[in-house]
Chain A
């Protein structure tokens, strides 16, 4: 398709949860691991006028549904603040610092005074009926493929409650996601880019966020919205694309949809997992913004900005160079691991366990994908500590790299068992040189006169995952010679 001819215009909004200890406006944990709610609070919400005296259309629309909202409250992860029963505490400094880092990495200008705003949302996803958000950066840019991509704003906001279920009149939400710090990055109008390129830009922004080492990863921690319009038609906002690789497909399908309906409406649509979208509500306007009155604006002095600038994390370009040069990763592997959600863990493991970087990188970028794709193993259930255990065993030579897929499979299926138990059960224990020597001698004796390749094959089938193949080859060659 000729995207220039159809006048494709896109805009991106990338959201990432920050991995802070506390929520943005209270002292609750951001872990979101509790399963059983402490209690449920039922509420209604009402439309209100903004400070400019207008009632937001989007808010009105939601109100007309007259829904009851059921909020599940979780121990340790929710307090009276999430229930809208206590005023917010001071802004979390850790979150602010990460947000300013990201804004500076995106070459934004930092306002001298940050104003916390209330963005009206009465779909019930926030108990207060608004989402608190503050701009921490304006007018930034990044370079993509030699072109300059405009970053209009970087905002720090509280994440909304996550929906559990709904019917005509009711909606149930989990409150533990409410208030988790979320960074929102908006691009300027992307004109002259293909859907694939728009997706690449979103990748790039994600990588920049991740270079702080302080963004959450895993399902639900990334959400992207994309605005699509064609032929100067109205803008349609598609919300909640959770998978990065889906953006170009969503855009392509939206182009098709807009080209096929007689009159495109200005509206918000939600992304389905297959890349198609569904209508959610009319597009909200600026009237939905209202200043936060519970805490005053936050001044940012030049000294603070200088200090953060001094400690900015390594840019992804530098990281790429370092991975290739120092860690001796191939070009492709370096690119893949930098894009991987496991980047931080990879770096930690290479540093802590001093395992071969290529081996570790391969586990994260291909072994896990293979296990998921070919055998549908729920690799997303593996936690950081499981990988640390795995690479610890590798370092202590209690496990061969060939046995990694089986070890991971075991761990997913037996999450409570240590990997070492699995190694023993599956017979993946590393065999000693003496043992290996015995097996080699035995096979050679039983297969006298057979070609070397055949013999190596037979031995490998007995020791796969328990001995290094180069050792086998070396011993076989030596013994056959003598």
Chain B
């Protein structure tokens, strides 16, 4: 946004963003298209696009005059809402793409100057020429939210949208999503979509779709192939497998984690192999892990009972156990502890977590122990201190990732508050979140 002074002048002279203007200074004359102003920087600087395409900032100070040369073409954000069906070939399967926002839907945002979700799934689909050989598309943008702003309530909305499309008979569903919390959503869908009959791919991009190097094209292309043609009836994350544009990995949503801030291949499977490798150009789908639910005719039911009042607490040297009191006073209903190593938390003196954990459990609040190692599983009895935790009733989550245990505990607490039943459900494998057999190749995949 421009400063009040500039806005007033523009209004008085009937100059709109996108108009071709002339800016006269004491010694200079500049001509160009008036561009929208981002929030950062000096809002009293006019931004114009010169004829060579460059943008430049001109200080609107005393003696500077603006005049309109000609009316321009408006720079408007066409925001296509609603559902759109693209039929390329009646013989092809039809899949659904549900847009939720994120980098994959992003382009320049003049409010902040950064990128923001404003591409509709239709825009994205139209960018990918080979889609017409893979599937017909039903595209719908159901929201436009960056992944850091996604909430458990939104997981439920997305789950319902997916269920609607699955039960309407689409061959598979793609959910486009921001990458930061993509694996939380994928896991939540995994728990909530009961009796899933077809593939659901949760797809993001690490480079926004307004860039010629964006990973969107390959990720969507591979995901479309995966949901249209594979027999994997699981919720998977589908993104680059390497830094190259060669193949994507379909990773079980409950075993996937964003492990890099910026690389295309940021999503890695933890404690198991990826389910499939989806080659981009030759469209081969190579199954790497046969342990998956097969496509079926089952009717999908959404089990969306969630209790979001769950805290994730990280254990670290010298931590203050009083953090538990805060959550207890705020009536939290369960805790996931991201413990060290095999599942340890401090046990000595004023740093000991044991009294707090004991207090929580005595109040019928579950405490789930996961490991910040991420790789490997927790163990309740190897060390004395682990037994101290276990004796007090803490639930050791095995090889479940801390974030996944968090999502699962929310879901479990939506079903029961009975401590014993919570413990049983937490250790029941609902969506492949527990791998009882971790193999030698399942590390740093």
Query: Which chain A residues have a beta carbon within 8 Å of chain B's beta carbons?
Result: 41-49, 51-53, 59, 80, 83-87, 109, 111-115, 117-120, 122, 127-130, 133-135, 138-139, 152-153, 155, 285-291, 293-294, 296-297, 299
Contacts and interface: CB of A to CB of B under 8 A. Distances in A.
Interface residues of B, number: 49
Nearest to B242: A41
B302 to A, nearest CB: 36
- Give 7 closest A-B pairs by Cβ, nearest first: A129-B212, A113-B57, A289-B53, A286-B53, A296-B40, A115-B55, A112-B59
B304 to A, nearest CB: 36
Contacts of B42: 112-113, 299
25 contacts: A43-B245, A44-B245, A48-B127, A48-B210, A51-B108, A84-B207, A85-B206, A85-B264, A109-B28, A111-B58, A112-B59, A113-B56, A114-B56, A129-B213, A130-B212, A134-B54, A138-B30, A155-B54, A286-B49, A286-B51, A289-B49, A289-B53, A289-B54, A289-B55, A290-B210
B127 A46 contact: yes
Given A48-B212, A87-B262, A139-B28, A112 B115 contact: no
A115 B213 contact: no
B244 A135 contact: no
A84 B54 contact: no
B339 interface: no
B41 interface: yes
Contact of B54 (A80, A130, A153): A153
A138 B244 CA distance: 40
Nearest to A54: B73
A115 B115 contact: no
Contacts of B209: 48
B169 interface: no
B56 A42 contact: no
Given A289-B55, A291-B55, A41 B210 contact: no
Nearest to B59: A112
B218 A44 contact: yes
A49 B118 CA distance: 14
Contact of A46 (B49, B56, B217): B217
Interface of B: 27-28, 30, 33, 38, 40-42, 45, 47, 49-59, 73, 75, 107-109, 113-115, 127, 206-214, 217-218, 243-246, 261-264
Nearest to B240: A85
B54 A135 contact: yes
Contacts of A293: 108-109, 113-115, 208
A26 to B, nearest CB: 12
Contact of A297 (B40, B115, B208): B40
A269 B47 CA distance: 33
B54 A115 contact: yes
Contacts of B115: 293
Given A48-B127, A291-B108, 14 more contacts: A41-B244, A43-B245, A46-B213, A85-B206, A85-B243, A86-B262, A109-B27, A117-B55, A128-B212, A135-B54, A286-B51, A293-B114, A296-B40, A296-B113
A112 B57 contact: yes
B369 to A, nearest CB: 34
Contacts of A85: 206, 243, 262-264
Nearest to B123: A49
Nearest to A300: B57
Contacts of A44: 217-218, 245
B54 A296 contact: no
A117 B41 contact: no
A46 B130 CA distance: 12
A286 B20 CA distance: 14
Contacts of B208: 293
A127 B56 contact: no
Q: Give the one of B27, B40, B54, B218 with max A CB within 10 A.
A: B54
Interface centre among B28, B53, B212, B244 (most CB of A within 10 A): B212
Contacts of A287: 53
Contacts of B54: 115, 117, 133-135, 153, 155, 289
A296 B45 contact: no
B245 A288 contact: no
A111 B60 CA distance: 12
A84 B53 contact: no
B87 to A, nearest CB: 23
A288 B56 contact: no
A120 B212 contact: yes
Nearest to B280: A44
Contacts of B50: 135
B256 to A, nearest CB: 19
B220 to A, nearest CB: 11
A115 B263 contact: no
A299 B41 contact: yes
Contacts of A294: 114
A332 B127 CA distance: 60
B243 A41 contact: yes
Nearest to B128: A46
Given A85-B243, A86-B262, A128-B213, A288 B53 contact: yes
A408 B27 CA distance: 53
B55 to A, nearest CB: 4
A408 B383 CA distance: 73
Given A46-B217, A48-B209, A52-B75, A115 B47 contact: yes
